[in-house]
Structure 1
Amino acid sequence: MTEKQYDFFISYNHNDERYASWISYLLEEAGYKVFYQNWDFKAGQNFILQMQHGATFANHTLALLSKNYLGSTYTQSEWAAAFASDPTRVNQKFMPVRIEDIDLGGLLPQIIYIDLVGKDEDEAKAAILEGVLIKRKKPMSPPPFPGMIQKSEKLESIQGKWYEKWLDSRIKELENNNFVEEVLEGAKFAVHLVPLESITRNLTLPVNKLNKPMLLEPFSTNGWDNKINKDGYCTFSKWPHAEKSHAYVQFFKNGIIESVDMGILKPRDELKYIPFIKFEKDIIAHAYKYLKAIRSVDIKLPIALNITLFNISDYYVGNIKFPREKINESTLKLPTVIINSWDDKLDTLLKPSYDLIWNHCGFEGSLNYDADGNWHEFNGMYHIY
């Protein structure tokens, strides 16, 4: 015999006869041929031989799994024989159907089964008819197009200038004197280090992690104080007899660092000039410390570094007595640089930022850089410090 006589042999315990009848009828209505004890066993026939006949001449044994089934000697031999005849499950000889909420042990958990637990009649019908399909379940007609995949606004901001929105907003606040600490009047600059994680993850770090007083050194000072505030952790410095600070460093709870100083830009002999060696050198040195503070709280790269000067109109760099040109903007936001490695050289990265200040004053670029873009203290006629 080249073809089996039956599609399914229903293996079940007699206590589960209602499910066996319901499933057998459902399958035959769907066009399958079923060998089912209640319908196919005749009086006078040998029960064991009939069971062997069903299992032998059916393509698949459909085993109705329940406590009754797994505890029966007869049914165990039926499903074990079906499993043994197709151990790799290539032909799906053994098809288990769970008809009771029980845990399956032994080999059974490794076999994909049809589960009727928790399903109503329509759901159970669908589960049976879909579960016994042997052929691939590829539909006859193509599925509808699910729709155009929209670009993520977050991804666009990450790929572009992800730091820009926060920086622009914060710079406007500083222009309106919304500083973390009250700062003395006059020209000042702010250094911001903005990690990508601070923008995309909405970080809120505990204040005790931000307590890095030796790394959060303000500018223009040899000593400073510190405190906890609503935004995180702050270090600040005041000159003797001054009511307001001249510099502070704020470590925000989201991991952003803001350092503000007016000491370096304080006019000397009423001359509004930028002491370019000290200015550039100190920013590089302090930024390295601030990066260490960020790294110490396990914030990952990249980090955006920006310098912005406030109330800087009429300031200049170059020869103190013979300036070329003066800056004519009140707020001067320098190009933002991106730090992608903890080993990045900040002096090299900051060259375009420093160059822009000198451009405003009539120079091609910062005199502190050589032809190869390496920073070193200028020692020529424009030397100020």
Structure 2
Amino acid sequence: MDQAPAKEIVVDKKRKCEGGDCENDAGSLQCPNCQKLGKESYFCSQDCFKRNWSTHKQAHKAANSMLSSIFPPKVVSEPDADGHFNPFPAFPFTGSLRPVYPLSPRRAVPESIQLPDYSKAGIPISEQKFGVRNKIKILTKEEQEGMRKVCRLAREVLDIAAREMKPGVTTDHIDKVVHEACLARNSYPSPLNYCHFPKSVCTSVNEVICHGIPDHRPLEDGDILNIDVTLYHNGFHGDLNESYYVGPASAQNSDNVRVVEAARNCLDEAIKLVKPGALFRSYGDTIEKVAKTYDCSVVKTYCGHGINQLFHCAPNVPHYAKNKAVGEAKPGMCFTIEPMITLGTHRDKTWPDDWTSVTADGKRTAQFEHTLLVTETGVEVLTARLADSPGGPVELPKTNGVTNGVTNGETKVGA
């Protein structure tokens, strides 16, 4: 997320800089967002403000949450017979999906389970240290084994969650299943309270690109559902997601199949490129090429990321063509590739919950993700599907001699 530039005002007295990694006295630069919230926050320099933005912006989220409880929205929807309601009735939603509140209470994690540094306050301090964001870590053999283990556990949990998916089941139920499966594996569900995310898994339905918050909406026959699972186990994070067809009608919908199989094949083709020396900017060229064969677009706002003892770190791995990512893969690096593919525009919009990202035109979208370990000769897919993993490819429907935008007789991606 881009940050607004700090504004300069006149200050007489000394203040400590708000930068989390800074011990300097503050200068005359103040965060404009904090000013709007009636809060003073000063920084020693523009560079310090930018460097600490990822951590500092979480204070805005927390403040907005507190203010919303004090000052309820002017427009509210009436609860239904079950007490459920849309918390943002005046918001111009881009598609047909609506949030169904209230959210269930935050699920507890026993102290016996190792916790990441953000589990209490919601701020991943370890990710904000200078140098961590720019230097790509090379994992030792022992650390690689730690990543293999957590990724195996993450795959188990995702498969358990996917088996629960069917029409009539709520995403809140899937969140409960994921949470309990994590605890049963002596693991912490990484999304829980990460930058104040309220749930243990991201569930993104239909036009939701990513970061969907599990709620009380029952899944419907014909939906697309992405389940994004991350575990924290013995000091390491393992991250993966898949998109699934909800009910028989979903897999019979040609648009559903087109976007889901496009996303699946975009990831598969990108992974084939991963090896020592491969440039991080190169994956996006292949992903966009594959997406275009399905007449689909690639979301540009979100990217793959480094992962190890940190949930998100260097490198950034964009999914679109002609990007400017810096660096190349080296043995011992761990990162994700997770293309988000849409039937329409690549542009996105965020709901007022500050998390749910949807397509700007309300058209459907799908995503797949793996955690990858670069080896001496290529790549190891740490979160690879198992023989009995639910889901999997669906045959592309054909209409009038055309298969998802690829004319019969031409080479068809994923064939």
* TM-score clears 0.5: no
Q: Identify the structure with the greater helix proportion.
A: 1
Q: TM bucket by the smaller chain? A: under 0.3
**TM-score in terms of structure 1 length:** 0.24
Return the TM-score normalized by structure 2: 0.23
* Structure of higher RCO (CA pairs closer than 8 Å, 6+ residues apart): 2
Structure of greater Rg:
1
